[in-house]
A and B are shown apart, each in its own frame.
Chain A
Amino acid sequence: MTYMTINTSPTPPEAAVDLIIDQAGKTFPTPRGPVVALAPISLKVTRGSFVALIGPSGCGKSTLLRMVAGLEQPDDGAILIRSKHPEQFRKEGELGIAFQDPALLPWRNVFANVAFPLQILGRPIKPNNEKIRALIDLVGLKGYEDALPSQLSGGMRQRVAIARSLVSDPSVLLLDEPFGALDQILRRQMNLELQRIWAARQTTTLLVTHGIDEAVFLADEVVVMHAKPGRIAEIIKVPFARPRTPDLFSSPEFHALCDTLTAALHGPGAAA
């Protein structure tokens, strides 16, 4: 087991860095005075890695993700994705995103929902027909292309959202608790599928999650955050070889690392 804090995290010189967060913080004004959602933090994510952000509610993990997507502006500091500002980066269609809520357009069928980002980016849909079908197939929804969201189950809708997040061939994928609303059984299943999808593309991925086992199963690195104010407490490397199989969930090493993570979440300085 290796512990690495943010300052000593060694980046192999040959691996390119996809995401640089440099002293970015966020404070929200409220009627009872300003609340520090995120103290200025720094983080580097290397190309092709899978990083999970985990922490209690109010630790600013979603705020961090939204800042990377350019949906929130940091008060100070800077965020660079492949040495571009988020607003510029996302305009080039290099960003894929999925939220806790699938946020599907209720009047569009599965195919049209997956194609939606292409329309926003102003790209043609016809030449991408095959790719869209392949993505729907990838998330296991073959045959449901013409179904409306209201005809799908919660898990199926979430898989549509995952397919949609991949349609623009993003180089960076942001997932904000995409399985948070699913039950435990479905969640495991989706974890396996996400790993399969990710392995097929090796897209740099940032995953916000509440689930300790989900983070350990999926990530190369788990960033543990604490609340009040939101900050990075620790970064834990996950050494397990890929591809990871469901057997891993029951291995002692897996449980040991989950326990370490739990301890880090409740560690000194963590808010009760």
Chain B
Amino acid sequence: MSGATRENARIVFGVLVVLAIWEFLGSQTSWGVAMFPAPSRILAQAFADRELYWLHGLATVRTATIGFVFGCAAAMLAALLFCLSPSLELAFRGVNIALFAMPAIVVGPLLVLFFNGDWPQTILAALMVYFPAMSATLLGLRQVDPRLADLVAAYGGGETKLMLHVRFRGALPSLFAGFRVAAPLAVLGAVLGEFGSGTRWGFGAFLLSALPQGNPARLWGIGLAASLIALAGYALFLLPARRLAASTSAVTLSAVSPAAIAVSSGGRLRRIAFALVALALPFLLWWLMVTLTKVSPIIAPGPVQTILFLFEGRQASAARHALGLALGQTLPVAALGLLAGLAFAFVLAALSLLAPALARALMPVAMVAQNMPLVAVVPIVTLVFGRGVTASVFMAVLVVFFPAYVLLQQGFTTVPRAASDLVATYGGGRLKNLVFVAVPYSIGHLFAAARLVAPQALLGVMVAEWLLTGTGLGNLLNVSRGGLDYDMIWAGALISILISVAAYEAVGLIERKVVRR
């Protein structure tokens, strides 16, 4: 009791110290005034802007909420269907991974072609919510104690009874954990959608208009406010999730991909057939979308037309050249950011194993920071790193670091106590424990982290390019959007989604090679 109070007092004290230093540097040094405006100035500016905050904030909150509800509804329905029919999940694997790995910023401009009003950003928010909510729900539905399944079977109950009495209730903690992760993503999706939709209100529009103004206090205010909204969404589901988890035994959001369960079943021929279906289905849906909505094929070309755009006709070689140039700028930066972010996360997680006090201090910060929408760091990145390549790299590192650190740290804590005790018994210190026990045990978490953040790194770089640096794939898409070069928008989106999916699959492939030795 008194220990907890003392711990809380220490946290409050630490926060106050940080705020005091920030206030001093932000008001007394010239670089501080330019990069880290004092909290008092940020608050004063926010108060002066209060009407803007109200209008923009309301628009974003409404968009994110509606998108969240739609996305979660679709996710729960899909999870139920996938649970009942694993074949269906295999067939939709391509769609699911594409939705997970797509750099959301490229999808916004496409949605604008089909929908108007607030719908493009609402749908983008729903699309971003879908995958985490779906995989968490599916995991919860599948995670049935085998003894309970036996029990139901022993009384003649079938899948319906099992679903009704065991699966639904058992999935609740997992479902809420999924909601918790998805809520901040809905805010991110809404803001990214607002960049591309040209809407008047919303934090995306607010940020776009504030970026060229050179008012650090306002930029910081926007970043902090967007983070607050996202974190409020996270916190909303924190309490019910904890309560449910307590009454449902320990259920945690697993780091394994749900698709991996089903892949191993069935013969070779069946597997190949499903892989082909999974590959074809996203393109089929694309084709259906452009055909059924009756949007002009000039604005919304189908898959075949988009691929032909890159290989046939007068502009094909020019288009390939432009894309190649953009990729040459974007991919190295994304790869560098990914590796640096992962390495940094690994080193820090390992260090916190050697010095547990560090982990206690850092973990809460990382838990919060991983849920900050990445657009919220744009102001900080641009004030500190300007508009060059450094800004892009740092953006990717920032996007990669926090989720990777949290996952790795969780991996290190799953190491069985007995294994660490064994090392200690033979006189091994923390370093030996790290090398021989902790790292090998958490190798799965390392790969899970890499798979999770690889698409994020690309998204981070593309957002930086779109908003700040004016280079690479992100910029190409932004310019094409402005110039109404629809073929290029589609081709760029296709290429970036393919690269993202390829990166995700490549990590999975390496993982299977390494882990299943």
Supposing A71-B150, A99-B150, A150-B249 touch, asked if A105 and B169 sit within 8 A by C-beta, the answer is yes
Complex: A120 Cα to B248 Cα, angstroms: 20
Query: Chain B residues near A148 (CB, 8 Å)?
Result: 247
One of B32-40, B47-55, B151-159, B353-361 contacting the partner = B151-159
Tell me if A116 is interfacial: C-beta within 8 Å of chain B. yes
Complex: A189 Cα to B166 Cα, angstroms: 31
Complex: A93 Cα to B145 Cα, angstroms: 22
Q: How far is the CB of B372 from chain A (nearest CB, A)?
A: 33
Supposing A71-B150, A99-B150, A120-B161 touch, asked if A106 and B247 sit within 8 A by C-beta, the answer is yes
Query: Chain B residues near A93 (CB, 8 Å)?
Result: 155-156
Within 8 A of B (CB), among A122-170: 148, 150, 168
Complex: A70 Cα to B147 Cα, angstroms: 14
Complex: A97 Cα to B149 Cα, angstroms: 12
Complex: A97 Cα to B249 Cα, angstroms: 23
Query: Chain A residues near B152 (CB, 8 Å)?
Result: 120
The answer to whether A97 touches B145, judged by C-beta atoms less than 8 angstroms apart, is no
Complex: A220 Cα to B157 Cα, angstroms: 32
Chain B: residues with Cβ within 8 Å of the partner, total of 19
Q: How far is the CB of A208 from chain B (nearest CB, A)?
A: 14
Supposing A71-B150, A99-B150, A120-B165 touch, asked if A107 and B247 sit within 8 A by C-beta, the answer is yes
Q: Per-residue CB proximity of B130-155 to A under 8 Å, as 1/0?
A: 00000000000000010110111111
Tell me if A264 is interfacial: C-beta within 8 Å of chain B. no
The answer to whether B148 touches A90, judged by C-beta atoms less than 8 angstroms apart, is no
Query: Chain A residues near B166 (CB, 8 Å)?
Result: 105
Query: Chain B residues near A119 (CB, 8 Å)?
Result: 161, 165
The answer to whether A121 touches B155, judged by C-beta atoms less than 8 angstroms apart, is yes
Query: Chain B residues near A121 (CB, 8 Å)?
Result: 155-157
Query: Chain A residues near B249 (CB, 8 Å)?
Result: 106, 150
The answer to whether B248 touches A90, judged by C-beta atoms less than 8 angstroms apart, is no
Which B residue sits closest to A89, measured CB to CB?
Answer: B156
Q: How far is the CB of A91 from chain B (nearest CB, A)?
A: 3
Which A residue sits closest to B166, measured CB to CB?
Answer: A105
Within 8 A of A (CB), among B233-253: 246-249
Chain A: residues with Cβ within 8 Å of the partner, total of 26
Q: Which of B145, B155, B157, B169 contacts A103 (CB 8 A)?
A: B145
Supposing A106-B248, A107-B248, A120-B161 touch, asked if A70 and B153 sit within 8 A by C-beta, the answer is yes
Query: Chain B residues near A92 (CB, 8 Å)?
Result: 156
Query: Chain B residues near A101 (CB, 8 Å)?
Result: 147
Which A residue sits closest to B152, measured CB to CB?
Answer: A120
Query: Chain A residues near B156 (CB, 8 Å)?
Result: 87, 90-93, 120-121
The answer to whether B154 touches A70, judged by C-beta atoms less than 8 angstroms apart, is yes
Complex: A117 Cα to B156 Cα, angstroms: 9
Within 8 A of B (CB), among A77-96: 87, 90-93, 95
Tell me if A38 is interfacial: C-beta within 8 Å of chain B. no
Query: Chain B residues near A116 (CB, 8 Å)?
Result: 151, 165
Query: Chain B residues near A105 (CB, 8 Å)?
Result: 148, 165-166, 169
Query: Chain A residues near B151 (CB, 8 Å)?
Result: 97, 99, 103, 116-117
The answer to whether B157 touches A120, judged by C-beta atoms less than 8 angstroms apart, is yes
Query: Chain A residues near B247 (CB, 8 Å)?
Result: 106-107, 148, 150
Q: Per-residue CB proximity of A96-116 to B under 8 Å, as 1/0?
A: 010101010111000000001
Tell me if A69 is interfacial: C-beta within 8 Å of chain B. yes
Query: Chain A residues near B248 (CB, 8 Å)?
Result: 106-107
User: With A103-B147, A105-B166, A148-B247 given, can you name 5 additional A-B contacts, CB distance below 8 Å?
Assistant: A90-B156, A93-B155, A95-B154, A97-B154, A103-B150
A residues adjacent to B (C-beta < 8 A): 66, 69-71, 87, 90-93, 95, 97, 99, 101, 103, 105-107, 116-117, 119-121, 148, 150, 168, 174
B residues adjacent to A (C-beta < 8 A): 145, 147-148, 150-157, 161, 165-166, 169, 246-249
- The 10 A-B residue pairs whose C-beta atoms are closest, nearest first, are A91-B156, A103-B147, A120-B157, A120-B155, A97-B154, A106-B249, A90-B156, A117-B155, A69-B154, A101-B147
16 CB-based A-B contacts, threshold 8 Å: A66-B150, A69-B150, A70-B153, A71-B153, A90-B154, A91-B156, A95-B154, A99-B150, A103-B145, A105-B166, A107-B247, A116-B151, A117-B151, A120-B155, A150-B246, A168-B155
